[in-house]
């Protein structure tokens, strides 16, 4: 009963429903990427394509598995309006360098359509704080993401 209440209030899964830690972490990463892409109220094709690419690269997944993860994360992301369950899973399973890498992935997603909305930038900053990633490390991740995407000038600078 206590597990059910925790699940309802904190978005945690009960032990009998819980997937492996790696699976939960992958799902949390995918859900955060989708949340970032949708922060401006729309999901551009470029953002969706970038998420699929990042999931394949980061987790070494074939396209079908990345798509299945994306679909599962999309359903999970739509079921909650909270970031905490996802960020808690990340903090519990990722070290500091991996959390910075996730912030870099988030920056890639929000810049994928060539535009950065204030809501997207705000969400990435909030997630960075919840993941205990410093502003300096987030800024470095942002610059690496811009370079990877071939964007010479930061549109917000």
Range of the domain at 126: 20-149
1 assigned to some structural domain? no
Domain harbouring 133, CATH code: 1.10.3680.10
Total tally of structural domains belonging to the chain: 1
66 assigned to some structural domain? yes
131 assigned to some structural domain? yes
Q: Which of 35, 33, 79 is nearest to 59 (CA)?
A: 33
* Residues of the chain under the 50 pLDDT cut: 1-9, 13-18, 157
Per-residue pLDDT tens over the stretch 45-84: 999 999 999 999 999 999 999 999 999 999 998 888 789 9
Furthest-apart CA atoms within the chain: distance in Å: 54
120 assigned to some structural domain? yes
| CA–CA separation, 38 and 28 (whole Å) | 15
pLDDT for position 22: 86
108 assigned to some structural domain? yes
2 assigned to some structural domain? no
125 assigned to some structural domain? yes
| CA–CA separation, 14 and 61 (whole Å) | 27
Number of residues in the chain: 157
9 assigned to some structural domain? no
* Torsion angle in degrees (nearest 10) through CA of 79, 85, 87, 92: -140
Contacts of 69 (CB under 8 A, 6+ apart): 26, 27, 30, 55, 59, 61
């Amino acid at each position: 009963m206590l597990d059910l209440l925790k699940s309802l209030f904190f978005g945690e899964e009960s032990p009998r429903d819980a997937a492996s830690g790696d699976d939960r972490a992958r799902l949390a990463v995918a859900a955060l990427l989708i949340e970032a892409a949708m922060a401006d109220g729309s999901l551009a094709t470029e953002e969706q394509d970038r998420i699929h690419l990042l999931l394949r690269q980061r987790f070494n997944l074939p396209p079908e598995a990345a798509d299945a993860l994306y679909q599962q994360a999309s359903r999970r992301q739509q079921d909650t309006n909270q970031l905490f369950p996802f960020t808690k899973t990340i903090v519990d399973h990722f070290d500091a360098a991996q959390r910075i890498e996730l912030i870099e992935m988030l920056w890639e997603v929000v810049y994928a359509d060539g535009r950065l909305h204030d809501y997207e930038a705000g969400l990435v900053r909030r997630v960075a704080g919840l993941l205990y990633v410093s502003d300096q490390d987030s800024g470095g991740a942002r610059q690496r993401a811009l370079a990877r995407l071939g964007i010479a000038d930061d549109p917000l600078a």
